[in-house]
């Protein structure tokens, strides 16, 4: 014969069970609340959480700068900065002569940005020297024979790949006694002077390979392999390679004012 459980005892047991369940559920609930608070704090701090984390993961990383491009930018920047300081010029002084902003010049000097050919030409002219002197790093160097692997060069306006953009190789080393300046230009498709520039003298060129669009006084000429040109350097001029392949040019200036 079964004995009936008193109503008061059943109520007490149910109360204890409810209290136990409340105690058991308290941990996860508190943990969940803590996690939500942590997420909110991370969002306020700018950390990617939830949907933001999804978008952050989907964002592709910035393309790494090529080692060669980085070293070239640092070399050009340091030389510009050294020459500017030697002439006791401020960033604003040289930037105004180079037709660019002081912030842009600062990035160039710190090796964070490669200048285009036209910008570099204006900055070098503002320093009172020529591209030939700037690239050679010497005002007194003299040489009659330059081997293929010994040419001094500078590469500008990279496409994100080594040795792309505009590469200038000196075939006539700079010297104060010389009246000629000669460079071998290799111009990648879609690249060029990035603007007009002008200086004193005359110049002539010969297209060794590819195509080039040469603009002289607002008149554009399309030149191909075997074509040549000449004009007064005082006339504003610019060039660009329309592609699809690299263009290679022999470019001569007299006097060496480029």
Single pTM value for the model: 0.50
pLDDT digits (tens, 9 = 90+) for 176-206: 667 888 999 999 999 998 889 898 899 999 9
Determine the number of helices (DSSP H) and then strands (DSSP E) in the chain: 7, 9
pLDDT digits (tens, 9 = 90+) for 10-65: 444 444 444 444 444 444 444 444 454 445 444 444 444 443 433 333 433 333 33
Q: What is the DSSP string of 104-152?
A: HHHHHHTTS-PPPHHHHHHHHHHTT--HHHHHHT-SS---S---GGG--
User: Which of 185, 154, 151 minimizes the C-alpha distance to 170?
Assistant: 151
Residue 82: band (very low, low, confident or very high) from pLDDT cuts 50, 70, 90: confident
Tokens of 23: 């105690």
In the chain, where the domains are located: 67-254
**Are 155 and 188 within 8 A, CB to CB?**
no
Higher pLDDT: 136 or 157? It is 136
Residue 169 has pLDDT above 60, yes or no: yes
CATH of the structural domain 67-254, one choice from 3.40.50.300, 2.60.120.10, 3.40.120.10, 1.10.340.30 = 2.60.120.10
């Amino acid at each position: 014969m079964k004995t009936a459980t008193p109503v008061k005892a059943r109520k007490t047991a149910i109360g204890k069970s409810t209290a136990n369940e409340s105690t058991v559920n308290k941990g996860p609930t508190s943990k969940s609340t803590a996690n939500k608070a942590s997420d909110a704090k991370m969002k306020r701090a700018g950390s990617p959480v939830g949907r933001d984390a999804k978008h952050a993961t989907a964002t592709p990383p910035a393309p790494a700068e090529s080692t060669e491009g980085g070293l070239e930018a640092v070399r050009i920047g340091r030389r510009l900065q050294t020459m500017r300081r030697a002439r006791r010029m401020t960033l604003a002084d040289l930037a105004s002569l180079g037709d660019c902003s002081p912030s842009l010049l600062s990035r160039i000097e710190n090796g964070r940005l490669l200048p285009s050919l036209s910008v570099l030409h204006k900055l070098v002219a503002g320093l009172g020297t020529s591209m030939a002197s700037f690239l050679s790093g010497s005002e007194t160097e003299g040489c009659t024979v330059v081997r293929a692997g010994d040419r001094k060069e500078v590469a500008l306006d990279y496409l994100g790949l080594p040795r792309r953009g505009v590469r200038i190789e000196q075939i006539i080393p700079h010297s104060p006694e010389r009246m000629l300046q000669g460079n071998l230009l290799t111009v990648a498709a879609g690249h060029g002077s990035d603007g007009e520039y002008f200086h004193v003298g005359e110049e002539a060129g010969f297209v060794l390979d590819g195509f080039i669009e040469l603009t002289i006084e607002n008149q554009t000429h399309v030149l191909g392999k075997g074509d040549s040109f000449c004009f007064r350097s005082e006339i504003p001029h610019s060039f660009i390679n329309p592609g699809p392949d690299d263009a290679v040019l022999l470019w001569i200036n007299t006097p060496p004012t480029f």
